[in-house]
Amino acid sequence: MIEMQHIRKTYRVMRRSAGFKEACRQLFRREHDEIRALDDVSFAIGDGEIVSYMGPNGAGKSSTIKILSGILTPDSGHCVIDGLVPWKDRMKHVARIGVVFGQRSQLWWDIPVIDSFELLRDIYRVDQRRYEQNLDELTALLQLEELLRTPTRQLSLGQRMRCEIAASLIHNPRILFLDEPTIGLDAVSKLAVRDFVKKQNREHGTTVILTTHDMQDIAALAERVILIGRGRILLDGTLDDICREGGSGDLEQAAAGLYRKLDIA
């Protein structure tokens, strides 16, 4: 059970502008901008749900994910996940979650994938029997058989993503965060990833929170969609709600229409 209530977060960022003259001027004076990343965000997610978290770039998606995964402390508000406050009980909390950052790899570049898995086994203190069980299951479902002995650098993007997802599940997390899991993947890999996530959710009851720009991902996976823009939750409903509000049957069109209508693009 994930509960977020009235979460707020503001960043200070340095202003930098282009041009030679500006550069010289800024040698002596610096300006800061305040950016309200999250402005009173509240929602609750039950066990075993798949939720898509969508919104344009800079809407506050990654801030939310960071707070949920214990990396970021909000300025104010409450958040309890399975009885723990993520940023306060970080160590305990992160042992129960799995995170896939689509853009970054957690696998060791030069050595076979299986070695990275074994390291993760030790990091998460998974006992050997359970590790083997999980590995067998993941290997079968994600078709990793031939990839495990290959060094990461020789894998295609799709193959690597399958391994990344397996790596994030080696310790049976109860919640899985997927940050743009299908970015850059070919059609076959995308389908494989989606199928797997669904299956994982169905069979293990894993809660999945997904951020993505790929509307097809959302259509395939999520019954529930949370839309965020300018740090505020703007819609919490189903795909049908998105289509209705966005005024189009086509998902891509609907999302774009919605962004424009809400003026968050």
Under the rule (CB under 8 A), what is the footprint of another protein?
Answer: 9, 11-12, 16, 18-20, 23-24, 26-27, 63, 66, 69-73, 87, 90-92, 94-95, 97, 99, 101, 104, 106, 108-111, 115, 118-119, 122-125, 151
The residue (of 43 and 101) whose beta carbon lies closer to another protein is 101
Residue type, 145: E
The residue (of 120 and 225) whose beta carbon lies closer to another protein is 120
Cβ 167 to another protein shortest distance, Å = 11
The residue (of 148 and 219) whose beta carbon lies closer to another protein is 148
Cβ 119 to another protein shortest distance, Å = 6
User: Token match 């299986």: residue?
Assistant: 114
Phi and psi at residue 142, to the nearest 5°: -100, 5
Cβ 27 to another protein shortest distance, Å = 5
Q: How far apart are CA 48 and CA 50, in angstroms?
A: 7
Cβ 69 to another protein shortest distance, Å = 5
Cβ 102 to another protein shortest distance, Å = 12
Phi and psi at residue 33, to the nearest 5°: -115, 145
The residue (of 28 and 263) whose beta carbon lies closer to another protein is 28
Q: How far apart are CA 3 and CA 242, in angstroms?
A: 23
Q: Tokens representing 60?
A: 């506050």
User: Which residues partner with 80 through β-bridges?
Assistant: 3
Q: Is there a contact between 98 and 177 (Cβ–Cβ < 8 Å)?
A: yes
Size (the chain), residues = 265
The residue (of 72 and 138) whose beta carbon lies closer to another protein is 72
